[in-house]
């Protein structure tokens, strides 16, 4: 199976490319990137061909694409790929606007191609275990969740609203929201959010608190802030604390690591030793194509998490609770 990558704007593209090249059953055949220098560098790094024209790229014999362009460009790239009959793994968030996400889903349905959204944390073995425990009633009925997805401030296009769609709320609410929907098959009833810019001189928010009520009555709080210092040894975290009627359960999805004191580069790093989430995500996408099954993480899953993000921005602007349909 030949696969191509559309853009290395998002840093996750490096990991996805590595996962593809580590497999013997697929080939990373082509790369397209709006940034020609970056595209050529990546093609050299991963021993494949760079094509400067997106139409030429989509006209090749690749079966699927992984899209890692800037958030606001997801819509056009997904729709173009769908029209070219390519299956699609799209980086999160699915889009910057709800109507764009709906148009992307419709285009893929009409073309009969797979649209999977990149939420790799679902493929963390510890998250899979937590999901099973909760669904088996290990802590009874879950009444509340306190979660954080803290991270470093990524800079670059991530802080340019016209490209990213927003700041830390756009970047980090979606991971936690996807996990909650996946574990509980529950939807958000209402959202209250307070967002701000406290750590950096930016035109987008870098911190905030988001409070949610789910249809089941469960209460959720999410801190999506870019609050990690520049010297922090990894990009961030996914930490969740579940409060149940029979007990509590806490998880740190990236706890399994060794601390590396890197004198060569003068920094401290966390080196994970657990199973690679991105490997699970890529393997699942490839299996979807081979077996022609519904993806584990659908375009609709991406849409639902985006709706929560947009409601959070609306709530912050209005300073009131926002209801979701």
Ranges of each domain in the chain? 2-113, 122-275+306-323
Cβ count within 10 A of residue 217: 11
What CATH topology corresponds to 122-275+306-323? Answer: Dihydrodipicolinate Reductase; domain 2 (3.30.360)
**pLDDT tens-digit map of 194-216:** 999 999 999 999 999 999 999 99
Q: What is the CA radius of gyration of the chain?
A: 20
pLDDT above 90 as % of the chain: 98
Burial of 253 (0-12, 13-18, 19+ CB in 10 A): buried
In the Cβ-directed half-sphere of 177, how many Cα atoms lie within 13 Å? 30
Closest CA to 169 of 150, 187, 183: 150
Tokens standing for residue 147: 């979660």
Cα 190 to Cα 187, 210, 240, distances in angstroms: 9, 11, 20
**pLDDT tens-digit map of 265-318:** 999 999 999 999 999 999 999 999 999 999 999 999 999 999 999 999 999 999
- CA–CA separation, 207 vs 226, rounded Å? 6
Closest CA to 127 of 90, 78, 182, 82: 182
- CA–CA separation, 61 vs 20, rounded Å? 16
- CA–CA separation, 42 vs 49, rounded Å? 9
Q: What does DSSP assign to residue 159?
A: G
In the Cβ-directed half-sphere of 266, how many Cα atoms lie within 13 Å? 1
217 and 141 Cβ atoms separated by less than 8 Å: no
- CA–CA separation, 267 vs 288, rounded Å? 39
* pLDDT at residue 21, rounded to an integer: 97
315 and 183 Cβ atoms separated by less than 8 Å: no
- CA–CA separation, 140 vs 318, rounded Å? 36
- CA–CA separation, 322 vs 311, rounded Å? 6
Mean pLDDT of the chain: 97
Helix (H) or strand (E) segment spanning residue 219: strand 219-223
Span 43-57, mean pLDDT? 98
Cα 11 to Cα 130, 282, 306, distances in angstroms: 28, 15, 20
Residue 325: pLDDT over 90 = no
> Helices 277-291 and 12-21: crossing angle, nearest 10°?
60
Band (42; pLDDT cuts 50, 70, 90): very high
* pLDDT at residue 276, rounded to an integer: 94
* pLDDT at residue 101, rounded to an integer: 98
Cα 160 to Cα 75, 165, 184, 285, distances in angstroms: 17, 8, 34, 30
What CATH topology corresponds to 2-113? Answer: Rossmann fold (3.40.50)
Which residue carries 């990894």 as its tokens? 234
pLDDT above 70 as % of the chain: 100
- Which residue(s) pair with 148 in the sheet? 223, 239
Query: Can you tell me whether residue 161 is helix, strand or coil?
Result: helix
Residue 178: pLDDT over 90 = yes
Span 175-180, mean pLDDT? 97
Q: How far is CA 1 from the centre of its chain?
A: 24
């Amino acid at each position: 199976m030949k696969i191509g990558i559309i853009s290395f704007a998002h840093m996750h593209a490096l990991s996805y490319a590595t996962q593809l090249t580590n497999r013997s059953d697929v080939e990373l055949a082509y790369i397209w990137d709006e940034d020609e220098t970056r595209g050529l560098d990546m093609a050299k790094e991963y021993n494949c061909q760079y094509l400067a024209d997106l139409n030429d790229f989509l006209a090749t014999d690749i079966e699927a694409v992984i899209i890692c362009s800037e958030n606001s460009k997801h819509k056009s790239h997904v729709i173009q790929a769908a029209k070219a009959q390519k299956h699609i793994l799209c980086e999160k968030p699915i889009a910057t606007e709800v109507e764009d996400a709906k148009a992307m889903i419709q285009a893929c349905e009409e073309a009969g191609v797979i649209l999977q959204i990149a939420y790799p944390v679902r493929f963390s073995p510890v998250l899979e275990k937590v999901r099973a425990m909760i669904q088996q009633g290990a802590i009874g009925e879950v009444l509340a969740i306190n979660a954080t997805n803290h991270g470093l401030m990524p800079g670059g296009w991530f802080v340019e609203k016209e490209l990213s769609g927003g700041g830390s709320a756009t970047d980090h609410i979606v991971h936690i929201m996807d996990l909650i929907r996946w574990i509980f098959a529950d939807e958000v009833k209402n959202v209250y959010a307070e967002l701000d810019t406290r750590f950096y001189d930016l035109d987008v928010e870098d911190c905030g608190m988001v409070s949610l009520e789910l249809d089941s009555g469960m209460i959720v709080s999410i801190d999506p802030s870019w609050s990690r210092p520049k010297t922090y040894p990894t990009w961030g975290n996914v930490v969740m604390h579940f409060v149940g009627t029979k007990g509590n359960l806490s998880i740190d999805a990236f706890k399994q690591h060794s601390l590396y004191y890197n004198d060569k580069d003068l920094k401290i790093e966390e080196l994970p030793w657990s199973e690679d989430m991105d490997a699970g995500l890529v393997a699942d996408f490839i299996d979807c194509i081979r077996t022609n099954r519904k993806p584990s993480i659908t375009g609709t899953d991406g849409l639902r998490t985006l709706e929560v993000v947009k409601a959070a921005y609306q709530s912050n602007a209005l300073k009131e609770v926002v209801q979701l349909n």
